[in-house]
Structure 1
Amino acid sequence: MTSAVTTAPGGAAPALAALAYHDGQFVPLEQARVPVTTQALQYGTGVFEGIRAYTQADGTLAVFRGHDHYARLLRSARTLRIDVGLDAERLCAVTAELLRRIGSTDDMYIRPLAYKRALLPGTPPGVQLTGVSDALSVNAFRMGSYTDRGGIQVAISSWRRPESGMLPVRAKVTGGYVNNALAVDEARAAGYADAVLLNSRGLVAEASTSNVFAVVRGRLITPPATADLLEGITRETVVTLAADLLDTATGFEDLARDDLCNADEVFLTGTGSEIVPVTGIGGRAVGDGTPGPLTTALMTAYHEVVRGKHERYHHWLQAVGQDSA
């Protein structure tokens, strides 16, 4: 099923085709629905990713690190016994085809969701992962940079990040994001843009949807996986760019609350948020209250890389015009 891009009234920019990949087909977005009996809706038994596609220097669109995101989606899916039905290569091809059919060359955000749908015949009702059918949906929409490159103020949340023995925190499980939603709601109610969550040991875990980096006594540090965080694709990208382009190694070390509050620089990383300077924590300035030099350099490098301006990292970019599904 194809859908042409239509022209908006009054000579405005073309309107995008509102499409999704749902149940193995490309369908109008309004048809990509699930019933209220969906198991994932009832119990949070779904996994997801957030992926970006960026406009390149030649005006084309390219997906950034799509294969890595889908490899993580498949790992998350195995945790919940979800059979996605496609491998990472095929998921990348489906995503490229969806973007082609939507018809945008602007920056896009892609949201794949794999989830438990309905009890199979003979399966008794209840909370379970076996005897339940699986489903996959992918949608995409325009989204440029939405965070303040001048820096944001964050709070230290009263909500704690769950331990990995309580919840599979290294998987992007939909139900687990209730914790994140509570933390960011608390922070915004108090006038902050985001929240940093501590783990059960009182050490820095992550922000609501981002990983945390700090420059402490001249060293770039980010908490290790053992801090009960999701190992972000953007986190890994930043570690690579810092080493390759800025000759700066990253230490994977526990950060106490005091380390964060007394750091010279703090920034957050995530696919949606990209790289965000933190200029204040709990009403106290970080450094001089402006984005620091390492943060600024990494922001510049990152935005050049995702736009295809560094040939060294072209392997991270999948041109949407290739590999039709």
Structure 2
Amino acid sequence: MTAPAQSTAAQSTAATGAADPGAASPAIAALAYHDGEFVPLADARVPVTTQALQYGTGVFEGIRAYAGPDGELRIFRAHDHYLRFLRSCRTLRIDVDRSAEELCELTAELLRRLGTGSDMYIRPLGYKRALMPGTPPGVQLQRVSDALSVNAFRMGSYTKSSGIRCAISSWRRPQAAVLPVRAKITGGYVNNALAVDEAQAGGYDDAILLNSRGHVAEASTSNVFAVVKGQLVTPPATADLLEGITRETVVTLAADLFDTRTSFEDLDRDDLLNADEVFLTGTGAEIVPVNEIAGRSIGSGVPGPLTRSLVSAYQDVVRGQNPSYHHWLQAVGSTTA
């Protein structure tokens, strides 16, 4: 899943390093990979005629890098993110001409050039650029050139560790037959933006979307988990959701560390309202307790025991403090100021 857009107010602190690395407001870094080279962020531009801007024909990923207690920066599950990124690219016939391994190294090089030891959020973007010569105007995926950009910015945890309030959105998650929901397609996130706008207008923090069949799909940028009658449950891939990498991580940690298996089954609105615990998972959001849904307290109205345990375990893993999961971490290496 993804993170909120970068705050332009933070740009002035990016070059000086004055921003708090754990602050909720992210700081945009001064360098990006664009058009095959590393350039100042201000020079990473696209024309208004860009096909992806006109028609939403782009794909993206959200990836985090965490500073460990030793001060080293490590990218969490970069290879898995880039495998999904390339699958999304194939869906829209975007050829970025790089393997997952090459994209991992490109990202590490970008972070080295940025020279930061702070937590970072990385945004790769593959997109349709311009019509090939002789191609008539129109909505199309073939005979359109492709492009790749990667930028990164400082970002710590930005959600409320004490828990959030969610609305059940009136907007429905698109069916897989309408939009390839298992791909992170830029144009598809209009649906998410509408749901968030509606929820926030009603005084909530986030929105949970149902699918066309009335079952829980996902939150605006996160997957949904619930503890129902003592069992950990999350909707299956057939619920028209994006199969999150943090979702998969949580399923693994729950089984390995807490002897808790996850059941993949449809959840209804009532299942959430009567659950003992509800939490959201996503790369940007990490693991977020949900204390209230549609004006009703979940459980006792505070983060539950399994949620708290998973939050703690997740932070240990991403910061390299659990050696059993070091295979998920890619060391960035020495940075240059």
TM over 0.5, shorter chain: yes
Residues 31, 151 of structure 2: 8 Å contact kept: yes
- Cα gap change, 1:174/1:31 in structure 2, threshold over 3 Å: closer, same or farther? same
Equivalence for 1:72: 84
1:8, distance to aligned residue in structure 2 (A): 4.0
Question: Equivalent pairs: percent with the same residue?
Answer: 76
Equivalence for 2:235: 223
Task: In structure 2, give the amino acid aligned to 1:241.
Answer: L
Unaligned runs of 5+ in 2: 1-13, 22-26
- Work out the CA distance in 1 between the residues paired with 2:281 and 2:305: 16
CA deviations on 1:29-78 (whole Å, 9 max, x unpaired) are: 00000000000000000000000000012101000000000000000000
CA deviations on 1:178-201 (whole Å, 9 max, x unpaired) are: 000000000000000000000000
- Work out the CA distance in 1 between the residues paired with 2:54 and 2:47: 11
1:140-289 correspondence to structure 2 within 5 Å: 140-289=152-301
Unaligned runs of 5+ in 1: 1-5
Task: In structure 2, give the amino acid aligned to 1:181.
Answer: A
Q: TM-score, normalised by structure 2?
A: 0.92
Task: Indicate the SS of the match to 2:80.
Answer: helix
Task: In structure 2, give the amino acid aligned to 1:292.
Answer: G
Q: TM-score, normalised by structure 1?
A: 0.95
Equivalence for 1:104: 116
- Work out the CA distance in 2 between the residues paired with 1:13 and 1:185: 28
CA deviations on 1:111-166 (whole Å, 9 max, x unpaired) are: 00000000001211100000000000000000000000100000000000000000
- Cα gap change, 1:7/1:172 in structure 2, threshold over 3 Å: closer, same or farther? closer
Residues 17, 101 of structure 1: 8 Å contact kept: no
CA deviations on 1:63-109 (whole Å, 9 max, x unpaired) are: 00000000000000000000011000000000000001011100000
Task: In structure 2, give the amino acid aligned to 1:201.
Answer: R
Equivalence for 2:51: 39
- Work out the CA distance in 1 between the residues paired with 2:293 and 2:234: 17
Task: In structure 1, give the amino acid aligned to 2:326.
Answer: H
- Work out the CA distance in 1 between the residues paired with 2:225 and 2:29: 38
- Cα gap change, 1:250/1:176 in structure 2, threshold over 3 Å: closer, same or farther? same
Q: Cα RMSD (Å) of the superposition?
A: 2.1
Residues 15, 29 of structure 2: 8 Å contact kept: no
- Cα gap change, 1:150/1:17 in structure 2, threshold over 3 Å: closer, same or farther? closer
- Work out the CA distance in 2 between the residues paired with 1:7 and 1:76: 33
- Cα gap change, 1:169/1:249 in structure 2, threshold over 3 Å: closer, same or farther? same
1:124-143 correspondence to structure 2 within 5 Å: 124-143=136-155
What is the number of equivalent residue pairs in this alignment? 319
- Cα gap change, 1:13/1:236 in structure 2, threshold over 3 Å: closer, same or farther? closer
- Work out the CA distance in 2 between the residues paired with 1:237 and 1:12: 29
Task: In structure 1, give the amino acid aligned to 2:263.
Answer: G
Q: Which of these residues, 82, 89, 92, is aligned with residue 104 of structure 2?
A: 92
Residues 198, 206 of structure 1: 8 Å contact kept: yes
Equivalence for 1:3: none
- Cα gap change, 1:128/1:55 in structure 2, threshold over 3 Å: closer, same or farther? same
CA deviations on 1:264-312 (whole Å, 9 max, x unpaired) are: 0000000000000000001100000000000000000000100000101
Residues 16, 102 of structure 1: 8 Å contact kept: no
Moved more, 17-26 or 213-222: 17-26
- Work out the CA distance in 2 between the residues paired with 1:264 and 1:83: 45
Task: Indicate the SS of the match to 2:160.
Answer: coil
CA deviations on 1:219-259 (whole Å, 9 max, x unpaired) are: 00000000000000000000000000111000000001100
Task: Indicate the SS of the match to 2:213.
Answer: coil
